[in-house]
Each structure stands twice: as C-alpha cells, then as structure tokens.
Amino acid sequence: MKSRFPIIGILVLAFFQSLEVFAGGVPTLDEMAGDWIPMADVANPPAVHNFNQMLVVGRDLTSFYCNPGGLFTHTKDPAVQWHAGYPLIRLAFDGQEYPATETRFFAYRALRRNPKSDGLAVETDTRMVNEQRGVLCQITAANTSSVSRTVHLSLRVPGALQPDGVGVTNATQRKGVVSAVRPSRKPDGVTTEKDEVVWSWTLDVPANGNVALGFVSGDDKAANADETDRLVAGGAAHFEAAMADCKSVWEKRWSDAFTPGNEHFSGNLPVLKTGDAALARNYYMGALTMLILERTQFPVSPRSFITSGERGDGIQYYWDSSMQATAWALLEPAGMKATLRRWLVQNARSGAHTSVTATNGFDAVYHDKITGYAFNACTIFKTADEYLRVTGDRAFLDEKLEDGKTALDHLDTFATDWETLPKGPHGLVNYGGNGNLLECAPAYVNCVPSLNAQNVWMMRRAAQWHALHGDAARAKELQDKAAAFLPAVLALYKPGAGVWNAYHTDGTLVELRHCVDFIYAGNALQNDLPPAQKSEMIAFVKRELFMRDWMRAMSQQDAAAAHSDRPDHSPKGAYDGWIPLTVGAMWRLGDPRGAYDFYRRTAVVTKEGPFAQAREFYGPNKEKYDAPVRVAARGGCMKECISGAAFADVVINTFFGFSPSPDGAIIRADPETPRPFEGTLTGLRYRGHFLQLTASAQGIKMGAFQ
C-alpha cells in the first residue's frame, strides 16, 4: 500500500493491504470483518450481538456462552469469566473432538475453524436471532483430498430427549430457565447417555466437496418452554433462511445508521469518505462498536446503548458512555435526551452507573464524600453539554426533571459539587481512594489533577449556559470561582517533566505518569497552559506511553508501575477509550500530525474485531515498543465497550473540528489548522440542517449537504 504517511510497520501494512480503501463511503459489514486469528493468541474470543443480548464463542468448534440477564461471572478469572447459560454443545468426528485453531469476527456472526479435524477442514458459523433468545450454528466439513470419504459426525447435547426423539430440553442449566436445542437435519441416530443426548450422522463427503448441517438453541423462563421449543423448531425447519435473516437485519441496521431520515434511528451518523484506509477503518469500527452495544428492549428508550454486553441488563457506566457523546447526539438524539433525563437526577457522589431498565428513581441521600466513581459529575456534565451543543436543543435547559429541578439546575450542581467535598492542600478537592478513581493505580488517589481541572472547566461551561439563559450574575459568579480555583490546579504540574502531581491526604506531593491527567487536565486547561508546558506534556506521551500499535495507560517509569497490572489502566496495556481521548487532547494541545499518525497506527488492532474494554501487550516481547496487542480478558475486562465509539467521536469533533459553541456562533474548531489527511464528512446534522465538512492541507471547509 502506497502512503504519504510514515511507515507504520510490516504487520500494519500487511493488514491494510487486505482492506478496501473506503473512498466511496460506508464499507459493507463483510469488509468490516476481522482477520482469521490463531485461537492460541486470543485471550477474549469473538462475541455476537442481536440488539438484545450477546454470546461469546468457546475455544472448541461449537460451544458458546450466552446468559441473558448477565453473562459476566464477576470472578475476573478468564477461565470462568462467563456463565454458560445455554448447554455447551460439543462436536466430534469419528468420536474425536477438535479445538478451534482459528477464529474470526463479523458483526453478525463468529467463525471458528480447524483445517485438521480427522482429515477434514471444519468451519463453524455462530449467529443470534434478531432480538430473540435464539442461537444458530452451522457446521461445514470440507474434504480437501482427491478421494471421497465417509464421516461419522456427532453432536453431544446436555439435557433430556424430548418425546419426538430428536429435540433436547435442558431445565438444569439455569434455575427457572428451560433451553431447547434442535438440529437442522434429522440425525441418523440418537442415543442418550447420562444427562446428555448424542445426535449422530453418517455422511458421504465427495472429493474436494463438503457437507453442512447445523443446530438451533433457544431459552426462556420455564413457563414459556413450549413457545421456546416452537421458535427453535421453526428455526431448525427453515435453517438457511434464519441464518440469512441474521445477516440481513444487521445490514439494514448498519445502513440505517448512516442514512438521514432512516427507519430506525432518530438521527444518523455522517458518512466519512477518504482515501486513507486506516482512518476509515477506525472511524467505522468505532461506529460499529456503538451499534453492537445497542439494545432495543429497555423502557428508557427503545434505542439505548449499554456499556458492555456481559454486564447485567441495561447497565450504563457514565464515564464509559460519555466518550461516545458526539456520535450519540448525532445518531440517536431522542434516546440520548431520554437517557439524560435519568442521568441528570442521579447523585454524582454514589455509584458508577445507572440502568435503563428503570424509568425513574435516584439516590437522594447526602454523601459527605465520594462513595462511587469520582468521575461521575464531570462525565454526566460533559455528556449533557455535548447533547446541548450538537443538537442545539437549548429548550432542554428549562425542562423539569423527575426531582422538580431543571436540566440547567443540575448542570450547575455538577459544576459546583466540589465545593462541599473534603479538601486537601491549597483547597484542592480530595476525590477519594483507588476504588473511586482508577482502581488499579495505587498512587492515583486523593487530590488528583484531572478532576480538579475538570472543576474549572465545568464552572466555565456552566457560566456560558447561564449567560445564554439570561442569568449574567450567576455566570460571573461561576467564572470568578473558576479563576480563583485555577492557580491551585496549575501548581500541580511538574515543570520540565510533562507530567502532573497529586496531593495525598498526608500532604505528600506524588508524581503521576498516567494518560488520564494528560487527557482531562489537558482538555480542561488547554487555553491556560503555556506553549512550553504543552510541548512537554506531548513529549511525555510520545516518549513513555505510545507504542507501535497501541499505548500504555501508565508509564513504566511511574512509581506505582510495578504494582499496577490490570490491562486497562496500567503499563500492561490501555483501556480502549484512552487512545482516542489521548489523540484528541494531543491535537488540541498543538500536535495534530503526531495525534493523527498515532490514531492511524492503532487501526491494525481491529483485525481482531471491534473496540473493547482494554487491550494488552502479550508474548515474550510484551515490554518492547513493537509488542503484539490483543483484546484482554484478565482483570474482568470485557469483549466490547461503548468507549470504543470515541474512535468515531474524535474523527468528527477533532479531525473534522465539528465542535459547536453553546451559542452556535462557532461550528468548527480550528478550521484553519492544516489537516494531515484528505476526506469529507457528509450528512452531518446540525440544528435541522445537513452539513458537509471537507478536510485538506488548507483546513476544514464547510458547506451544505444535499
């Protein structure tokens, strides 16, 4: 692949040589698929989602983990990280079971294969029935020799044989839940063993030919067992059509996401057209990650976006979800507004998340310190601010919420929440211990720069909303508070090092070498920092955090590095959301080229699939610059995470500069900054109109989109 950008390594180039260059716009779902990956290199196997639930495939050829209502076991042990949920069905040829040696991600299916299964090349295709509790798996066995052969294939299904002598019912896998399993082709033989049914077929496979069959699984509450079996029987009787429907539903949803006036979403995402395959890959994978985590069964909104599929139903972590705020406001403004009505009444000092399974309720207890996640206030505030600016829906500021207060009242409350929290040296706010912050970074506690800087930003932004609302007095009061608080925050910077310090409760000043301060202090104070400091901060990130294909969340030189091992926040890898957030901050602090080049380098990780909770460095070279990267499972890391939508967000609001000011007077941030790429964003909705943004070395041009 010829490129005018820096060489990014043989592995990266090989990956992009296999991609289409999406100059024409939205790629197909098949073009968004991952590569075949050796299962031995996979820590967190591919998942499949159906807009209600998810499954994760096993390391054999046919089993999968699907447990509606909560897949994650909370053990944080990858060996038993998921509830089995459905019966684990095992495939054998001539009595021998074979592992999956490779696996591949698609949005609508997960593939597994083993080219050496009793002399056969076996591939399986696992899909989920749209918005129903049903799973389909097709098995294809190919004879690659020049001689025909007879194969004995069997499927071992835990459960009891049904009266028809074929179907299998399992009422013991989960209490109160009954599963049904049926084959797509009547078995030649059926036997029962202890707690299992074995289906068997004798198949003649022609030379260089193949045979295929499959099975369908479904489950529901025991009271619905008959209906479950009818649905499973219908899927088995019309197996090929059911498999095709799994794909066509996903294709329609994907198309709707980029179509103004579509049949599903209340908005749409802009279409990116560019000759840069790496830019396109990350942008569209960010959008795809968002759609993977869409759920349609919850009462807050029929188009909701959860944090991760493995968690309990409807869970939204404020912090993770805030990272998709631009894309959320563009794609689903109605659902976002409905969700914000729930978020804004929540107590920022307690908990870490809310659930869209409930349409009301909040914690009204006064907590004199942070008892949940310390980032709640600023991330809820940021999400609401993004909605208001992107949609232009200023009427929302006056809307009375469940507690009788307006949205603007709540923005003011979040912006000044710091005033009654415990204080440390120089009046800086004490945001609690490890459990309130990064969880696995032991020194990242108490008076941290990131959140104290966010207080300055929130007060300034709340002042702008008050001013637009006609309350000049409150606006000035907040501006004055921010100005008075700012010097103490700026004093936390360590001159010459590019990093920040925190005060611990004992008054000790502790150096922090973590991306979180670069992101949250850098964004909040970008106009307050002198050029030399900005350069030092950028140099730190490039020197100590950026690797060839990914980044370290914490520098290996941090004093706590040896005691920080989790993939998302330690030197061992990074939470996926940190990459686009770091890139965005770097761009705004003065290094667009460096930010953009790193963003494109990370696209190689999508050969494994969509963006996840975290990726880790692994293998014998995991400490080196060119260490291989994979989706992590250890430490409780989950397969997909909504923060991955930030890979689309940063393209829209930073690379293309779509960042409307509260009053709407400014639509494009830094439009004169030369862009290190060429491309257009079309169909960008803003205040009832559609815009087209064109990026080039001359900056960003804006025009109407027809």
Bridge partners (DSSP) of residue 345 are none
Q: Clarify whether residues 306 and 376 are in a common domain.
A: yes
Within 13 A of 361's CA, how many CA atoms are on the CB side?
7
For residues 358-383, one letter each, b for 16 or more C-beta atoms within 10 angstroms of the residue's C-beta and e for the rest, the string is eeeebeeeeeeebbbbbbbbbbbbbb
Q: Clarify whether residues 73 and 220 are in a common domain.
A: yes
Q: What is the pLDDT of residue 216?
A: 98
State which residues of the chain have pLDDT below 50.
Answer: 1-21
Q: What is the pLDDT of residue 178?
A: 97
Q: Clarify whether residues 99 and 202 are in a common domain.
A: yes
CATH number, domain of 98, equals: 2.70.98.40
Q: What is the pLDDT of residue 705?
A: 74
Tell me which amino acid residue 318 is: Y
Q: Clarify whether residues 123 and 228 are in a common domain.
A: yes
Q: Clarify whether residues 436 and 352 are in a common domain.
A: no
Cα→Cα distances 495→222, 368, 490, 523, 533, Å: 65, 34, 10, 18, 7
8 A C-beta contact, residue 104 and residue 34: yes
In a domain, 172, yes or no: yes
In a domain, 596, yes or no: no
In a domain, 526, yes or no: yes
Separation CA 574–CA 568 (nearest Å):
4
Which of 192, 223, 249 is the endpoint of a domain?
A: 249
Q: Which domain holds residue 329?
A: 297-401
**And the tokens for 497?**
């090092």
8 A C-beta contact, residue 500 and residue 493: yes
| H or E element at residue 601 | helix 592-601
Q: Clarify whether residues 90 and 211 are in a common domain.
A: yes
Q: Clarify whether residues 157 and 205 are in a common domain.
A: yes
In a domain, 555, yes or no: no
Which residue blocks in 392-448 are alpha helix, DSSP H?
407-415
**And the tokens for 351?**
């908990």
Q: Clarify whether residues 346 and 232 are in a common domain.
A: no
Rg (CA), the chain: 26
Q: Which of 648, 630, 498 is nearest to 573 (CA)?
A: 630
**Count of helix runs (H) and strand runs (E) in the chain:** 16, 31
Separation CA 584–CA 595 (nearest Å):
7
Q: State phi, psi for 430 to the nearest 5 degrees.
A: -90, 110
Q: Which of 144, 233, 229 is nearest to 178 (CA)?
A: 229
Which of 467, 497, 530 is the endpoint of a domain?
A: 530
Q: Clarify whether residues 394 and 426 are in a common domain.
A: no
Which of 483, 504, 530 is the endpoint of a domain?
A: 530
Separation CA 495–CA 536 (nearest Å):
8
DSSP state of 442: T
**And the tokens for 235?**
């899927």
Q: What is the pLDDT of residue 463?
A: 98
Q: What is the pLDDT of residue 392?
A: 96
What total of structural domains would you count in the chain?
A: 3
Q: Clarify whether residues 477 and 369 are in a common domain.
A: no
Q: What is the pLDDT of residue 67?
A: 95
In a domain, 623, yes or no: no
In a domain, 548, yes or no: no
Find tokens 């049949």 and name the residue.
263
**And the tokens for 657?**
């500069």
Separation CA 180–CA 66 (nearest Å):
13
Q: Clarify whether residues 58 and 148 are in a common domain.
A: yes
Q: What is the pLDDT of residue 21?
A: 46
Q: Clarify whether residues 163 and 100 are in a common domain.
A: yes
Q: What is the pLDDT of residue 706?
A: 61
Q: What is the pLDDT of residue 439?
A: 87
